[in-house]
Structure 1
Amino acid sequence: MFNMPSYYQLSSIQRGYPYYRSASGESSYISLEEALSLIEQAVSGEREDELFYDYLISMAPTQQEREIIISIRDDERKHNRMFRMIFEAFTGRAIQSPTEVQFQKPESFNEGVEKALMGELKAVERYRNIRAGLLNRYYRDMVFEILTDELKHASKYNFILNLELKRKLNDIAN
């Protein structure tokens, strides 16, 4: 009769976990190659993002909102530099940016802020996967900084949307 090994004798793949093990013994559900591909995708849209942020800045109804979006745009520029550095450290090559970029303007400032908010939340999910695939703590910590910035950006966009709601409520009350 065939003896089935105990649960703990099975490899992680046999137990149904799609993790891989690095040479250092760390486990992850995302490979380094997948993480690098996600970095490349994140950076490839940088020019379109910059045009989008510049548009939002130009449409912002107050100086306070302009300054908030400028700070977010500047963080995004920093993130792109960090992702480029990580990619080059692992691959030895630079990420090429597209030369011609199409930019679709939102119909209103608020629609743009809502789009930006949802983009920040999607980025958190993508960057969490990037972080999981990086084997070196130094680079994982860099991506953690980017992740926390993205969460901060989402909060700032929510703040801007609340400012607009307050303006509308004041208009109704007056």
Structure 2
Amino acid sequence: MNYTNPYERWNMCCSNYGMDFTQEGLNKALCLIKDAVQGERNDELEYEYLICLAPTREEKEIITSIRNDERNHRKWYKEIYKCYTGKTIESTDGEQSEKPKSYIDGIKKAFFGELSAMERYRIIRAGLPSRCQRDIVFQILTDEIKHAIKYNYILTINLCKYGWTGKKRTD
């Protein structure tokens, strides 16, 4: 068979790991996936704002790549959820979150948000019975690690440039 979507019909092409998951774990994973879909959307909106604030082209490109990954994560989580429940999760733009006091405050929030997402996504991965879906969540997890590292890089270059005071260094 030829599928246009590589994740379509994954139950047919991916085996279960065995009994290393429980119905309770799956239910928890599905609940967390619903939250993750909205969380990924909120992150996308916050990162749009950071892209506008970013002082350099390099930082804009880094944050843009992270924002694009968040879009894919949301799409993949929606597909996994639909596979188990037959229902579609709709994410909303909701209320605009509070804007950070500064660009650096926004980057710090994003950094810790990526780390927090990794904690939740490990629970999602553990609750899924399909190896293929676990592999997709593993890719999302590794993206979140990569994002945290990139945000740490942005924090570091800004710290080197401006120091702890936030004022441009002259030395």
Instruction: Determine helix, strand or coil for the equivalent of 1:31.
Output: helix
The correspondence for 2:94, drawn from 96, 100, 108, is 100
The correspondence for 2:169, drawn from 154, 161, 172, is 172
CA distance in 2, matches of 1:141, 1:23: 11
* 8 Å CA contact 2:33, 2:77 repeated in 1: yes
Q: 1:29 to 1:65 in 2, by over 3 A?
A: farther
Amino acid corresponding to residue 66 of structure 2 in structure 1: I
Structure 1: unaligned runs, 5 residues or longer: 1-21
The correspondence for 1:112, drawn from 98, 106, 111, is 106
Amino acid corresponding to residue 53 of structure 2 in structure 1: M
Rg bigger for which structure?
1
Structure 2: unaligned runs, 5 residues or longer: 1-15
* 8 Å CA contact 1:87, 1:93 repeated in 2: yes
**Higher relative CO (CA 8 A, sep ≥ 6), structure 1 or 2?**
2
Instruction: Determine helix, strand or coil for the equivalent of 1:39.
Output: helix
Amino acid corresponding to residue 60 of structure 1 in structure 2: A
The number of equivalent residue pairs is 153
* 8 Å CA contact 2:115, 2:148 repeated in 1: yes
Residue 55 of structure 1 aligns with which residue? 49
CA distance in 2, matches of 1:166, 1:154: 18
Q: Which runs of 4+ in 1 moved over 6 A?
A: none
Residue 121 of structure 1 aligns with which residue? 115
Q: What is the percentage of aligned positions where both structures have the same residue?
A: 49
Amino acid corresponding to residue 38 of structure 1 in structure 2: L
CA distance in 2, matches of 1:159, 1:23: 37
* 8 Å CA contact 2:42, 2:93 repeated in 1: no
CA distance in 1, matches of 2:17, 2:118: 27
Q: 1:167 to 1:99 in 2, by over 3 A?
A: closer
Residue 41 of structure 1 aligns with which residue? 35
Instruction: Determine helix, strand or coil for the equivalent of 1:172.
Output: coil
Shift of 1:96: 2.2
Q: Which TM-score applies when normalising by structure 1?
A: 0.81
CA distance in 2, matches of 1:106, 1:26: 42
Q: Which TM-score applies when normalising by structure 2?
A: 0.82
